[in-house]
């Protein structure tokens, strides 16, 4: 036989459980817009029923329920989706980074347009054609020097701008390492707090949400493996080495290795990664420096070599100058090997004295001959000294390859974007707060609370009957 006040405690528990549930609902609604927040659920559980299966139990219909309590407040979250999403986030920011860098190169290239390098090349060849027809005209000679100077400075500025882009990428890599360090130390702190709370039997839901946000952020920078430990800590390994282990994090360093900003572990080992922003930066940097700037240098060197060889064969307008004066048309300092495009210019002697332009074929041709200028103009369709393409063909190849690379980066980035969106939606589907749902719960819990309170009043009335019995 249950005690007289038995029903009171059921009603009290009902009120208290519904009040807690209402508070959880309030927390959910308040965090409806919080990034990374997972909705929480108060889990109602019937309390242990009164009585037990022993021989001296009182006679009765069976075990009498004792009411309800909140067994746990848990967050609704699918850990596998997090894993999938982080992989895709890494890929997405990898291609996004590449796309941005390549789009910048496309912008400085300005092709196809009327102002790009290919047009400057056209004017260059055209001026030599004109010189071949008018080798003695000062105006035409000046035009050759002017268009050639434009060609050289276009190459200079393309190379300089690519170097600026490469420098920016280095800065980005450095910032990425700083970000990794900030994230890993925060992760270590959160790990510690979470382990402590879990040890005390508490569910640190909001701390875990914050940790998940940090892991998402980290995934955008670099790909990693997250290993959840039995005590609730999450260890993070990048390229097989622990970046975060329980409450400890390893700070990374960044240093310039052969002109490239590289992330290293404290002992000097290079950080290994295959996705994420860092990977995108590395890939873009190597494409720009070898496939773009490198080929620009090859182009400049080939222009220098082939024009100079032909130019040196000719004779200048005045026979009175020493034979070696102005033999080279283009000039690249010896120290500029590997940076030809950045440093190519016209022989300063020729700039000072246009008469040194060697338009005429060697003697016995007269000084008013233009066939050497024509020979230079015809280099337009000649193969480069080292390659299988003409100078312009080589440049067109560069433009096409850049276009293909940039197009691919953009396409993959857009694909990844929709993939991550889909996964994010699926995560939201489980973890996101729906105001309508919370409102429905609110009404339900409110009714539960009201009913429990009403029960208390009924119990009170019932007891009144007994108490009033003695008053007669």
Partner 1 sequence: MRISNATLRNNVMRNLHSSLREMSEAQRKMASGRTVNVPSDNPVVAARLLNLNATLHESAQFQTNVRDGMAWLSMTDVTLGAVGEALHRAKELTLAGANSTLPPEVREFNAREVDQLLRHVVSLANSSFDGSRSLFGGTHHGGLPFATTELPDGTITIDTLGPTEGRGAISYEIMRGIEMQVNIPGAELFQDGNVFGALEMARNALRATPTADIQDSLAALDQALSTVLDARATTGARQNRLEMAEMRYDEERVTLTALRSKLGDVDMAEAIMNFNVRESVYQAALGAAARVMQPTLLDFLR
Interface residue list for partner 1 (CB under 8 A): 32-33, 39, 102-103, 106-107, 109, 111-112, 118-119, 121-122, 125-126, 129-130, 132-134, 136-137, 317, 360, 364-371, 374, 377-378, 380-381, 392, 395-397, 399-407, 410, 421, 424-425, 428-437, 439-440, 443
Helix (H) / strand (E) containing 469: helix 435-469
Nearest approach in angstroms of CB 459 to partner 1 is: 30
Q: Which is nearer to partner 1, 260 or 410 (CB)?
A: 410
DSSP label of 290? I
Cβ of residue 160: shortest distance to partner 1, in angstroms? 20
Q: How far apart are CA 305 and CA 308, in angstroms?
A: 5
Give whichever of 67 and 280 is closer to partner 1, judged by the CB atom.
280
What is the smallest separation between the CB atom of 400 and partner 1, expressed in angstroms? 4
Could you tell me the smallest distance in angstroms from the CB atom of residue 367 to partner 1?
Answer: 4
- Nearest distance in Å: CB 222, partner 1: 25
What is the distance between the alpha carbons of residues 125 and 391, in angstroms, rounded to a whole number? 11
Beta bridge partners of 261: 256
DSSP string for 270-339? BPP-SSHHHHHHHHHHHIIIIIIIHHHHHHHHHHHHHHHHHHHHSB-S-TTS-TTTT--SEE--GGGTT-
**Min CB(223)–partner 1 separation in Å:** 24
In terms of CB distance, is 149 or 442 closer to partner 1? 442
Measure the CA–CA gap between 269 and 263, rounded to whole angstroms.
Answer: 9
- At CA 140, angle to CA 137 and CA 142, rounded to 5? 110
Q: Give 57's contacts (C-beta < 8 A, 6+ positions apart).
A: 51
* Residue whose CB is less far from partner 1, 126 or 247: 126
Smaller CB distance to partner 1: residue 132 or 191?
132
Cis peptide before 112 (omega within 30 of 0): yes
Cβ 411 to partner 1, closest distance in Å?
A: 9
In the bound state with partner 1, the residue whose beta carbon lies nearer, of 302 and 431, is 431
Q: In angstroms, rounded to a whole number, what is the distance separating the alpha carbons of residues 213 and 185?
A: 14
From the list 324, 328, 338, 319, the residue with the least C-alpha distance to 376 is 328
The nearest distance, CB 368 to partner 1, in angstroms, is 4
327 versus 402: smaller Cβ distance to partner 1? 402
Structure tokens, 192: 């510690």
User: What's the chain's length in residues?
Assistant: 472
DSSP track, 260-278: EEEEE-TTSPBPP-SSHHH
User: How near is the Cβ of 84 to partner 1 at its closest, in Å?
Assistant: 17
| Least distance between partner 1 and beta carbon 345 (Å) | 24
DSSP secondary structure code for residue 114 in this structure: S
| Residue 320: C-alpha distances to residues 135, 310, 317, 325, 358 (Å) | 17, 21, 9, 10, 13
Give φ, ψ of 203 to 5 degrees: -100, 100
Residue 316 CA to residue 354 CA, distance in Å, equals: 9
Instruction: Decide whether 109 or 236 has the Cβ nearer to partner 1.
Output: 109
350 versus 374: smaller Cβ distance to partner 1: 374
Residues 6+ apart with CB under 8 A from 217: 179, 183
Q: Are 105 and 163 in contact (CB under 8 A)?
A: no
Q: Which is nearer to partner 1, 217 or 405 (CB)?
A: 405
């Amino acid at each position: 036989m249950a005690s007289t006040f038995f029903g009171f405690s059921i009603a009290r528990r009902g009120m208290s459980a519904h009040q807690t549930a209402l508070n959880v609902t309030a927390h959910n609604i308040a965090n409806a817009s919080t990034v990374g927040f997972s909705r929480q659920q108060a889990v109602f559980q019937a309390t242990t029923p009164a009585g037990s299966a022993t021989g001296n139990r009182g006679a009765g219909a069976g075990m009498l329920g004792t009411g309800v309590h909140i067994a746990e407040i848990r967050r609704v979250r699918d850990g596998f989706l997090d894993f999938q999403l982080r992989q895709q986030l890494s890929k997405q920011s990898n291609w996004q980074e590449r796309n941005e860098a390549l789009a910048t190169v496309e912008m400085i290239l300005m092709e196809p347009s009327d102002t790009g390098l290919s047009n400057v090349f056209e004017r260059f060849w055209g001026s030599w054609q004109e010189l071949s027809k008018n080798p003695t005209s000062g105006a035409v000679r000046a035009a050759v020097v002017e268009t050639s100077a434009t060609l050289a400075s276009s190459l200079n500025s393309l190379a300089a701008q690519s170097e600026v882009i490469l420098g920016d990428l280095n800065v980005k890599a450095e910032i990425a390492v700083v970000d990794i360090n900030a994230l890993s130390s925060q992760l270590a702190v959160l790990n510690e707090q979470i382990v402590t709370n879990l040890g005390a039997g508490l569910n640190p839901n909001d701390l875990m949400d914050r940790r998940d946000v940090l892991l998402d952020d980290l995934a955008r920078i670099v790909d990693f493996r997250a290993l959840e430990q039995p005590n609730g800590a999450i260890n993070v390994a990048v390229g097989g080495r622990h970046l975060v282990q329980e409450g400890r994090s390893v700070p990374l360093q960044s240093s310039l290795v052969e002109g490239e900003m590289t992330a290293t572990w404290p002992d000097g080992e290079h950080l290994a990664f295959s996705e994420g922003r860092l990977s995108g930066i590395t890939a873009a940097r190597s494409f720009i420096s070898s496939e773009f700037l490198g080929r620009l240098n090859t182009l400049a060197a080939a222009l220098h070599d082939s024009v100079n060889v032909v130019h040196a064969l000719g004779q200048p307008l005045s026979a009175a100058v020493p034979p070696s004066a102005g033999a080279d048309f283009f000039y690249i300092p010896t120290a500029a090997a590997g940076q030809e495009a950045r440093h190519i210019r016209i022989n300063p002697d020729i700039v000072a004295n246009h008469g040194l332009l060697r338009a005429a074929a060697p003697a016995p041709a007269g000084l008013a001959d233009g066939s050497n200028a024509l020979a230079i103009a015809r280099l337009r369709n000649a193969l480069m000294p080292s390659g299988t393409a003409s100078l312009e063909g080589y440049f067109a190849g560069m433009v096409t390859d850049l276009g293909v690379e940039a197009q691919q980066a953009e396409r993959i980035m857009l694909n990844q974007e929709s993939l991550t969106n889909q996964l994010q939606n699926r995560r939201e589907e489980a973890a996101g707060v729906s105001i309508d749902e919370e409102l429905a719960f609110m009404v339900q819990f409110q009714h539960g609370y009201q009913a429990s309170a009403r029960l208390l009043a009924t119990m009170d009335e019932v007891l009144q009957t007994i108490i009033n019995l003695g008053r007669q």
